[in-house]
Copies of this chain bind each other. A is one copy, B any other.
């Protein structure tokens, strides 16, 4: 049955492409109030399309920021209920002068559709929307129950998403999430994104005295807050870059042979990886570069400051120094516990006469991963085998997708990223594009995926659902 739906979508591809171009003409830059009308028009476009396609309860979910677009179809009792996540907002188009064609005038060149938001993530979002529509049109029903959740502030860090989910928790209750965001990890190898690193944050203020001091009066006989901060920062890693925070990765799930084989298959050219930013190889030599940046935790000082930083010189001995620190976390690591371990480490290395204060208390994001045997993963791998002729390499994202952690925390459900963006499509940069071939691949794959999830039944998800923790 899904084949008929896929055939219909492929047959309608030209219409869908026109619809995508219409969507891309609407400048939905969430961060800039100057684009408020574009945001509004984009919401209306989606509300109208979901209504046309036969979704119900089509509405905006407002949490005080940019509202999300919602629509549901719940006509498949006993089948899984899937939140289909996408986002309709885009990055600012600057620098405008570097675009070959204007960012909000979609243009096709060499099989690529150029426009702001084409890859991130209106293309993949529309694939999902049109797939549900085709099921309803061709079959009169979907293989699963669907709840669209199309966010309007992903590009600004989702400031109101927790309030939205809190407010509409019952409406959003589901068995799992399929995300149109989170694309493919390779342009040549079939991949599935099966997770992302988490994040914990802290800011430390170090004090070695109550007042800044004059080095002519105190130089040589007092602790300099900058020296002390430097000494603390230096205790975090050894010279190769291995983390020295006691027990920091003791809870991290060890890499499996499969993890390492997938990472090896997806490993790019390290010299290109480093060359593109003018950096040199570094990090724990027990792990390959791709493992270090996707499968292993990391700690970075993101900002450090204190003393006199203006022009010229000032012979001051700073009483206070500051550092902003974040850590990327992997499955097994609890974000709050990881933050506490860094804090305990710094405290333990802090000499007498020096005090530390930490902030902020929260804002952490858990890592996520789909474990072996998860019905989302089983279904998606089968689809990739079927459409691309081989099992996908599993990839985890080195960055953090807060939304995945938030769905896990607040709704107790896992997310599969099933977007069709590729890693070279200049997202967040001038001349963003989406491959037309990806549009077709997506329109073929999504019906298959929904069908397989429908085969599994709602019961299959029960063992994987957790109690919400927030």
A contact set with B: CB distance below 8 Å: 197, 199, 201, 203, 208-211, 213-224, 226-227, 229-234, 236-237, 239, 241, 273-274, 277-284, 289, 292-293, 296-298, 300-310, 313-319, 321-324, 326, 328, 351-353, 363, 397-400
Contact = CB atoms under 8 A, between A and B. Distances in A.
A230 B222 contact: no
Between A201, A298, A351, the greatest number of chain B beta carbons within 10 A of the residue's beta carbon is seen for A298
A296 B215 CA distance: 12
A241 B218 contact: no
B222 A279 contact: yes
B219 A227 contact: no
Nearest to A398: B216
A218 B326 CA distance: 13
Nearest to A219: B298
A223 B282 CA distance: 6
A302 B307 contact: yes
A398 B297 CA distance: 47
B300 A309 contact: no
Contacts of A328: 215-216, 219-220
B233 A280 contact: no
Contacts of A221: 241, 273, 281-283, 289, 292-293, 298
Contacts of A398: 216-220
A279 B208 contact: yes
B363 A214 contact: no
17 contacts: A211-B278, A217-B293, A217-B398, A219-B300, A219-B328, A220-B292, A221-B281, A221-B293, A222-B274, A223-B282, A224-B300, A226-B302, A226-B303, A280-B353, A300-B317, A304-B304, A314-B324
A289 B397 CA distance: 54
Contacts of A222: 274, 277, 279-280, 282-283
Between A301, A302, A303, the greatest number of chain B beta carbons within 10 A of the residue's beta carbon is seen for A302
A438 to B, nearest CB: 21
A220 B297 contact: yes
A209 B292 CA distance: 18
Given A227-B236, A241-B223, A326-B315, A216 B302 contact: no
